[in-house]
Every structure is written in C-alpha cells, then in structure tokens.
A and B are shown apart, each in its own frame.
Chain A
Amino acid sequence: MPKGLTPRLADLKQEIEGYARDFGLDCFETVFEILSYEELNMVASYGGFPTRYPHWRWGMEYEQLSKSYEYGLSKIYELVINNDPCYAYLLEANAEIDQKLVMAHVYGHCDFFKNNFSFTHTNRRMIDEMANHATRVRRSIDKIGIEKVEDFIDRCLSLENLIDQHAPHIKRNPDPKLAEEQSKANDRVGGFKVDREYMRGYVNPQAFLDSQRKKVEDEKAKAKKFPERPQRDVLLFLLDHAPLEEWEFDILSIVREEAYYFAPQGQTKIMNEGWASYWHSTIMTTKALRDSEIIDYADHHSGVMGTAPGRLNPYKIGIELYRDIEERWNKGRYGKDWDECDDLRARRNWDKKLGNGRQKIFEVRKHYNDITFIDEFLTPEFAIEQKMFTYGFNEKHNAWEIMDKEFRKVKAKLLQSLTNFGQPVIEVVDANDDNKGELRLAHKHEGTDLKADYARETLRNLQSLWRRPVTLVTKSENKGIALRYDGTTHSEKKVEL
C-alpha cells in the first residue's frame, strides 16, 4: 500500500521544493507516495490512476511492464499525475540520489501541468473523477454482465483517438440562436437598403441579387446535409446521434472524457519532458547535488538522455531545445539583425549580453505545444548539432535507412509526425449516406496510408455502435478507396477523390 515519505525523504522534499520555488517554478501542492515496484508497475499500468475502472488492457500493460522490469530492460523511476494537488509516485527501492533527481523532475512536470495552456481545460480533480468512472463502470457490469460491458469498452477504446484534439479551445459548432440571428443579418436577398429609389439599380444590380440568392439557397441546402460540416469529434457525434443504450452512452462518454484528459499530454510530450529534465538538471547541478553523488547522478541523467538511431528521445530533444532557446535569448541571437546576418564568424561570436534566456523559456513553457515549439524554435544549427535525420523504409534493401539530413525535410517530417498526435485525421462527413442512414467518414490523407487490417477491424467496431453500415473514404497507394462494413461483410470500392 502507498506509504507517505520517510522523515528523511520529507526533508529532501522540502529542500528540493525550496529550490524549485526559488527558481520561479509555480507548482500545485505536490504529494509524494512511495511504492514498491509491483505497485508502481500497477499504477503505471492504470495510466497513473490507481482507482481506474476494471479492464483487461491494464492487465496486459502490467504484464509487459513487470516482465520488462524483471528482465532488467526498463524501470519506471517516477510517475506524475496532472491533478490538484499533484500526485507523484516514487519507487521505494531507489537510492536517495535517485529520489532527489526524481523529485526535481516531478516539480518540473508539476509546473508545466499548472501553467502550460494546453492543460487549462483539463479536470484537475481527475483522481476523483476516475474513481467515479470506475464506480459507474462497475455498476454497469453488475447490471449488464462483465462480458458485454467489457466488449463494449473494447469497441469504444478502439475509437478513442477519434476526438478533436483542439476542441477544448475552440467552439466549432456555433450557438444555434446566434447563428440564426447572424444569418438573418446576412440575409441580403433583398439587397442593401436603398434611400433613393433611383439608386436601386446601382446599389443592388440584378447580378448581385442573383448571387446573394444563390448563396442563401446553397446554405439552406447545406443545412439539410447532416452533419452540416465535417465533424472531427467522432465520439461526440456518436454520443449525440448513435442509437446507444443508456449504459452504452455512459461508457462511451467516460472513454471520451478520459481521452480528452490525456490528449494534452500527448500534444506536449517533448515540451513537458524537456522542461522537467531541464529543471532536474538545473536544480541538481547547481543546488542539490553533494560531491559524493555526482557519478551516480551523471550515470542516471545520461541514461535518461540516451538516444537510439530509430527513436527520437523527447527528453533529449526537449532539454536541448530549451537550453538552445535560453542561450539564444541570453545572447540576443534572434530578430531581424540575427536572421539577416550571414557572416559566419559574426554569428559564432554573437553575444548582445541580453540575459533574457530564463525569462524566455518560462514564456515558451506557457504558450506553446510540441508543434508550435518545434515549428518556431528548431533551427538548422540545432538540427546539425543534434545529428538529426529522417529515416524511412527502403523496400529495395528491406531495411530501415537514414533518408535525409536536410533541415527542411527533417523539420517537415518531425512536424508531420506530431500533427494530430501522430494520428490520422478522420471526420464524420455524412450520417445519412446514400439516404439510408449509413455513416460516412473521410480520412484526410496526408501522404501516409492507413494500416489496412487495423482499419477494417476498427470499422467493424464503429459499425457496431452506429448499427447501420459504415464507410471510410481514404486513399490506398494514391487511389481513392471506400472501405465499407455493413455488419456482416467488408467490401472495398474505388472512389474518385
């Protein structure tokens, strides 16, 4: 069972927290709990929430984590939960130096959760909410039976990435009342108001009136289509319009809520880990480290920062990028003068001694997510320094190969992999397809095909919620294709895009 901090660790916590606050980190109250490795693996399997609803997927996660721990392949040092108060779990068996490092790291995460804009809409009482979800799911299980509920959860989870990542910040569907008024105001079929009758032909020529009329008619026609515009929050669409039973509705809304809660963490992986790493490094090396601990610290820090060729380590890229920004803003390496300077020596020695680096990275951690972070701050020098490259699969050699080191391509590829959390964008385009109540979705193809077998299985799950046949329009090998599942058989049809 979770234990509170030992007196020694409580002292350490106070020390580290003091350093963090002195540096200007602004955290929720942080509660540390000490867990054995089994317990830590368990909590990690539950995505950080020990009170989560029962599902075999956590068991699978647990099996994999335990195995890889037992074989010595991986070890979880810490877990932090975006909640107020912020909960963090420490591994009981860790040495004191590790606990210090982890605490410093945790305060970095905690500050990020509290201040980054992506998290402003997340539920800060998620621990309680998750427990409520668990109660609701259990109640359904008691009523309906484990098999049915579990099966339904599986199907919902299969669709959990079909949410609108940006929805919390934007109002996609305008308020209907407001929209009505607006459309009335825009109703210019009668033409502009004319004070002098003889001017009418000039103010409202026939061609203008015709075009206005057509516009209004088009809009009306559009309104008949359902949904009016493509909807990216497929889960919400299903909640609103699919013929779900009460308990099914309940479960789908739980899955959706949790997906939205976790989405910002996916959107800020590089920034969040980078920020936490930056702070554990800064706090440890300038304040908290004792002489005797330096070797162990270096060992563990470099373990976290390690890179492998086919993998981009978010900790590494993140921390280096923050440091690069800090240096650039300290030395004034930004703005018009800097951009226009092409004297290499001048660039190398460029130092305006501005010293706003620290301030700048605090701003960055507030207003950016991974995409905007990379887009704005990844520089060619940085990419070379960090030996970044793109890789791909070479069919000829049947192997993964380094494809390119050119900055623009590296950046484009990196941004592409971050867009929509690396997930394909799929929208509901028509809920009455072929006038038969069939559901039609479209995949916004951006150069990469969907994994065909997974797509078919997912379609099957979608169909079981919608009850009527479903179609997904996508591209396969550059040709438009419509995948359809009608409840019994899969079919494919070529379509023009």
Chain B
Amino acid sequence: MALRIDQDHSRFKQIVRGKIKANLRKYVQQGEMIGKKGKETISIPVPFIDIPHFKYGSKEQGGVGQGKGEVGDQLAPGEEQPGDGQGKAGEGEGEHALEVDISLDELAQILGEELQLPNIQHKGTEKIVTTKIKYTGIHTIGPESLRHFRRTYKQAMKRQISMGTYDPNNPVIIPVREDKRYRTYKLENLPETNAVIIYMMDVSGSMGDEQKEIVRIESFWLDTWLRHQYKGLESRYIIHDAVAREVDRDTFFHTRESGGTMISSAYKLCRDIIKADYPASSWNIYPIHFSDGDNWSADDTRLCVEMLKSDILPTVNQFAYGQVESPYGSGQFIKDLREHVGDQANVALSEIADKDAIYGSIKDFLGKGR
C-alpha cells in the first residue's frame, strides 16, 4: 500500500542521489569508502544533507551522564555525543556527513549517468538460457509425495459441507480422488549472461603500496559497473613478476614481491585460463592488466603483443591496460602497446598518474561500451 510518506521518502533518495552524483569524483578517489562494503550495499558519507543550524561544537560541550564509573573513566568506546544524532565524526571535513546506504547497483547507475558510460552490448545473450524450477503452482494431478495437505483438506471440507455430509459433532473429513491437490512446478526461462574479469597485476618491486591502492580503487569501480551490466560476474586474479600465478582476491591486493618483470608470463596464464574455462562464444571476457609499464626486455614485449593479437584479442570483449605511474617504472610498455595494438577496437589503454586520474581512467576503460 502506498503511504503518503513515500513521496517525501523518494524525494529524499533523489536528493541523496544528486549529492552523490555531484561528489562522485571525490568518492572515486577515496579508498576508505570501499572498505565499508557490505554484500549488496555500501555506505557513503554525504556532506550537508543535514540542515545546518547554529549549534554548539560537540567536543567542547560535554554533558551529564548517569551510571557506574569513577572520575577519569572513559565512556564506553564508540559512545557518541548525545544529541549528535546521526553521522560519525570522521576525519577532517567529513565530520558533518550523513551516512547513507546505497546499493551497488544504484551506485553503478549513478556512475554510468555521470560518466555517460554506454551500456555494454552483451554477447551470447540469446544463446544461453537456463531454466529454473519453481514450485508455485497447484494441480489436480500429481504424485502423492507432493500432495498439498491443507488445500486437499479444504477442498474435501467444501465438498462435504455442500453435500450435507459434514457433521460438526463428528468432524471427519475424508478426501476422495477429486479433492486431492498437488504441488506443481513451473519452469522459468532465465536468459543468462556470463562475464568474467581477469585481473592481472604486476607485483614486482617497483609497484609500491600507493600504486596498489590505485589499482584497488580502480578495480572496485570496474567491478561495480560490470556487475551492474551482467548478472553473473566472475573474477579471476593473476599476479606476476617474472613468473605469473593465479591467486585469490586478498592475495592479489596485498602481495608484494620483488624481482624482475615479465609481462608475457601473465598473458600466457590469462590465455590458458580463457581457453580452459571460458569459451569465447558464450562468455563476455574482460582481461584487465595493471602495471607500472616496466618490462624485462623488448623481446618479452614483442611476445606479449603477439599473444594479444593472436590469442587474447579475438576472444575477449575488451582488453584493458592501466599503467600506474611509479617513480621506478620507465612507462615504456603502454607506448609499445599503443604502437602495436592501439588501433584495435577492443583495446583500452589508460595512464593513471595518481588518484585524481582514476576518474578519467574509468571512462577510458568503460567508455567504449564493449
């Protein structure tokens, strides 16, 4: 039933949405927000959705309390200043923020609207159809094991009452064949689109924590968008220095190795994974590679380019390469890629100088709508 408040509620949500949109660039650069991620929703601090008043600063105010404790005891940790209501005191200017929960889907929509991202053309959409069984129906025939007791009973009672054989003093109900009701299933066709992101990251000595943070933030947003576009999204993670190996998500973002860099090792593993698990005809495949642009040798780079051209690019929706600027990297690799595969339609290349650049880089990656 519609309540009168629904209007005001949706107006509030609209305003929140507007605020998020207006501040999106800031959120995109912020790493900490991602840490608060729940399963389906994320909480975002929105500034000044609260109506400002002339009021006392909370830290100087203090107040009167009641309960056990001696002078000098700390109040329970996390105890909020009374009357401060919603919003936790964060760092610096985040102080007056109101925390709003927003679903990742909604966030992706906002991202899409603000960056004007095109919707992705799925491939294989019509081809794969899964059927799902749902027990929702009732039928007059079926196996005894699926008999619906309550319905059957009711049916029998109705019949007996209408026939006048029902005796309230001796309320025995005997169902006959025609009274019986059975649960039955319905088949639902679910068109399914499958997509996989294969993250690759250079973890050689030259990739510092700052660079990894950028990769982390950027991959969060790519993930959010693609998840919005596809129903079932899988993620695979590959790290490499001179050799590549597949790892879980946690290891991916926190490992630090040292040593040389051979990008071809990662591409090789990526190619093998695609071949083994993701037939190109039915999967939307997104390999994304982050590195600081340093490769071991020109020979290895040549090997990479060959592999891209012959094996990877023909099978994937889009191959993305993000080059994170680092004080140690030469940044040569993106130039090589640009030279050899830059003209391919399904290649997206982006240089990410710092956190500010993430915003633009997301557009580079997702702007093609593939």
Q: Which residues of A contact B (CB under 8 A)?
A: 38-39, 41-42, 45-46, 50, 54-60, 62-64, 67, 150, 154, 157-162, 307-313, 316-317, 386-393, 397, 399-405, 410, 413-414, 417, 422-424, 426, 443, 448-455, 457-458, 461, 472
CA of A423 to CA of B57, assembled, Å: 11
Q: Assess whether A310 is in contact with B82, with CB atoms less than 8 Å apart.
A: yes
With A62-B8, A393-B59, A404-B71 as known contacts, state yes or no: A458 contacts B53, CB within 8 Å: yes
What is the distance, in angstroms, from B88's C-beta to the closest C-beta of chain A? 14
With A401-B74, A401-B75 as known contacts, state yes or no: A388 contacts B55, CB within 8 Å: no
With a cutoff of 8 Å between Cβ atoms, the chain B residues found around residue A308 in the complex are 65, 67, 76, 79
Q: Assess whether A461 is in contact with B9, with CB atoms less than 8 Å apart.
A: no
CA of A171 to CA of B76, assembled, Å: 46
With A50-B4, A55-B8 as known contacts, state yes or no: A457 contacts B67, CB within 8 Å: no
Q: Assess whether A312 is in contact with B66, with CB atoms less than 8 Å apart.
A: yes
With A308-B67, A387-B66, A450-B55 as known contacts, state yes or no: A402 contacts B11, CB within 8 Å: no
With a cutoff of 8 Å between Cβ atoms, the chain A residues found around residue B143 in the complex are none
With beta carbons under 8 angstroms apart, the residue of A39, A56, A312 that contacts B8 is: A56
Residues facing A in B79-128 (CB within 8 A) are: 79-83, 86, 93, 95-96, 98, 101
CA of A417 to CA of B58, assembled, Å: 12
With a cutoff of 8 Å between Cβ atoms, the chain B residues found around residue A307 in the complex are 65-67
With a cutoff of 8 Å between Cβ atoms, the chain B residues found around residue A423 in the complex are 53-55
Taking the complex as formed, is B63 at the interface, i.e. its CB lies under 8 A from any CB of chain A?
yes
With beta carbons under 8 angstroms apart, the residue of B54, B69, B70, B95 that contacts A162 is: B54
Taking the complex as formed, is B10 at the interface, i.e. its CB lies under 8 A from any CB of chain A?
yes
With a cutoff of 8 Å between Cβ atoms, the chain A residues found around residue B7 in the complex are 54, 59
With a cutoff of 8 Å between Cβ atoms, the chain B residues found around residue A391 in the complex are 62-65, 75
With beta carbons under 8 angstroms apart, the residue of B9, B60, B64, B83 that contacts A413 is: B64
What is the distance, in angstroms, from A130's C-beta to the closest C-beta of chain B? 13
- Which B residue's beta carbon lies closest to that of A405? B71
Name the 5 nearest CB pairs between A and B, nearest first: A59-B12, A392-B62, A59-B8, A457-B52, A59-B9
What is the distance, in angstroms, from A71's C-beta to the closest C-beta of chain B? 11
The interface on chain B, measured as residues whose beta carbon lies within 8 A of the other chain's beta carbons, has a size of 52
Q: Assess whether A402 is in contact with B66, with CB atoms less than 8 Å apart.
A: no
Q: Assess whether A450 is in contact with B79, with CB atoms less than 8 Å apart.
A: no
Q: Assess whether B65 is in contact with A310, with CB atoms less than 8 Å apart.
A: yes
Q: Assess whether B54 is in contact with A161, with CB atoms less than 8 Å apart.
A: yes
Interface secondary structure of A, over-half rule = mixed
Q: Assess whether A424 is in contact with B56, with CB atoms less than 8 Å apart.
A: yes
Q: Assess whether B60 is in contact with A422, with CB atoms less than 8 Å apart.
A: no
With beta carbons under 8 angstroms apart, the residue of A42, A64, A317, A387 that contacts B5 is: A42
Q: Assess whether B3 is in contact with A402, with CB atoms less than 8 Å apart.
A: no
Q: Assess whether A309 is in contact with B3, with CB atoms less than 8 Å apart.
A: no
Q: Which residues of B contact A (CB under 8 A)?
A: 3-5, 7-15, 48-49, 51-77, 79-83, 86, 93, 95-96, 98, 101
With a cutoff of 8 Å between Cβ atoms, the chain B residues found around residue A410 in the complex are 64
CA of A46 to CA of B3, assembled, Å: 12
Q: Assess whether B54 is in contact with A426, with CB atoms less than 8 Å apart.
A: yes
What is the distance, in angstroms, from A45's C-beta to the closest C-beta of chain B? 6
CA of A393 to CA of B14, assembled, Å: 37
Q: Assess whether A63 is in contact with B75, with CB atoms less than 8 Å apart.
A: no
Q: Assess whether B74 is in contact with A397, with CB atoms less than 8 Å apart.
A: yes
- Which B residue's beta carbon lies closest to that of A64? B86
CA of A311 to CA of B79, assembled, Å: 9
With beta carbons under 8 angstroms apart, the residue of B57, B59, B65 that contacts A312 is: B65
What is the distance, in angstroms, from B343's C-beta to the closest C-beta of chain A? 47
Known: A154-B51, A402-B69. 13 other contacts (CB 8 A): A63-B9, A63-B12, A63-B13, A309-B75, A387-B66, A390-B63, A391-B62, A393-B62, A443-B54, A450-B54, A450-B55, A457-B48, A461-B52
CA of A457 to CA of B57, assembled, Å: 14
With a cutoff of 8 Å between Cβ atoms, the chain B residues found around residue A311 in the complex are 65, 82
Q: Assess whether B60 is in contact with A393, with CB atoms less than 8 Å apart.
A: yes
- Which B residue's beta carbon lies closest to that of A313? B66
With a cutoff of 8 Å between Cβ atoms, the chain A residues found around residue B73 in the complex are 401-402
CA of A93 to CA of B295, assembled, Å: 67
CA of A158 to CA of B79, assembled, Å: 27
With beta carbons under 8 angstroms apart, the residue of B8, B75, B77, B86 that contacts A58 is: B8
Q: Assess whether B63 is in contact with A402, with CB atoms less than 8 Å apart.
A: no
With A62-B5, A309-B76, A311-B82 as known contacts, state yes or no: A450 contacts B56, CB within 8 Å: yes
What is the distance, in angstroms, from A147's C-beta to the closest C-beta of chain B? 11
With A157-B51, A312-B63 as known contacts, state yes or no: A400 contacts B56, CB within 8 Å: no
Q: Assess whether B75 is in contact with A450, with CB atoms less than 8 Å apart.
A: no
- Which B residue's beta carbon lies closest to that of A472? B54
With A402-B73, A449-B56 as known contacts, state yes or no: A417 contacts B48, CB within 8 Å: no
CA of A164 to CA of B71, assembled, Å: 37
Supply 24 A–B pairs (Cβ within 8 Å), ascending by A: A38-B3, A45-B8, A55-B11, A56-B12, A60-B12, A62-B8, A158-B51, A161-B55, A312-B63, A312-B64, A312-B82, A388-B64, A389-B69, A389-B71, A390-B65, A400-B74, A401-B73, A402-B65, A402-B73, A423-B53, A423-B54, A448-B56, A455-B54, A457-B52
With a cutoff of 8 Å between Cβ atoms, the chain A residues found around residue B93 in the complex are 453
- Which A residue's beta carbon lies closest to that of B82? A311
Q: Assess whether A400 is in contact with B53, with CB atoms less than 8 Å apart.
A: no
With a cutoff of 8 Å between Cβ atoms, the chain A residues found around residue B58 in the complex are 451
CA of A162 to CA of B12, assembled, Å: 25
- Which A residue's beta carbon lies closest to that of B68? A387
CA of A212 to CA of B15, assembled, Å: 61
With a cutoff of 8 Å between Cβ atoms, the chain A residues found around residue B61 in the complex are 417, 448
Q: Assess whether B57 is in contact with A42, with CB atoms less than 8 Å apart.
A: no
- Which A residue's beta carbon lies closest to that of B64? A414
- Which A residue's beta carbon lies closest to that of B74? A399
What is the distance, in angstroms, from A152's C-beta to the closest C-beta of chain B? 13
With a cutoff of 8 Å between Cβ atoms, the chain B residues found around residue A399 in the complex are 74-75, 77
With A39-B3, A54-B11, A59-B9 as known contacts, state yes or no: A454 contacts B52, CB within 8 Å: yes
Q: Assess whether B65 is in contact with A389, with CB atoms less than 8 Å apart.
A: yes
With A59-B8, A63-B12 as known contacts, state yes or no: A448 contacts B75, CB within 8 Å: no
With a cutoff of 8 Å between Cβ atoms, the chain B residues found around residue A312 in the complex are 63-66, 82
CA of A312 to CA of B13, assembled, Å: 33
Q: Assess whether B3 is in contact with A42, with CB atoms less than 8 Å apart.
A: yes
With beta carbons under 8 angstroms apart, the residue of A55, A451, A472 that contacts B56 is: A451
Q: Assess whether B53 is in contact with A158, with CB atoms less than 8 Å apart.
A: yes
CA of A56 to CA of B12, assembled, Å: 5
With a cutoff of 8 Å between Cβ atoms, the chain A residues found around residue B14 in the complex are 56
CA of A46 to CA of B5, assembled, Å: 8
Q: Assess whether A400 is in contact with B52, with CB atoms less than 8 Å apart.
A: no
What is the distance, in angstroms, from A11's C-beta to the closest C-beta of chain B? 29
With A54-B7, A424-B56 as known contacts, state yes or no: A413 contacts B63, CB within 8 Å: yes
Q: Assess whether B51 is in contact with A54, with CB atoms less than 8 Å apart.
A: no
- Which B residue's beta carbon lies closest to that of A418? B64
- Which B residue's beta carbon lies closest to that of A413? B64
With a cutoff of 8 Å between Cβ atoms, the chain A residues found around residue B63 in the complex are 310, 312, 390-391, 413, 417
Q: Assess whether B70 is in contact with A402, with CB atoms less than 8 Å apart.
A: yes
What is the distance, in angstroms, from B111's C-beta to the closest C-beta of chain A? 22
- Which A residue's beta carbon lies closest to that of B59? A393
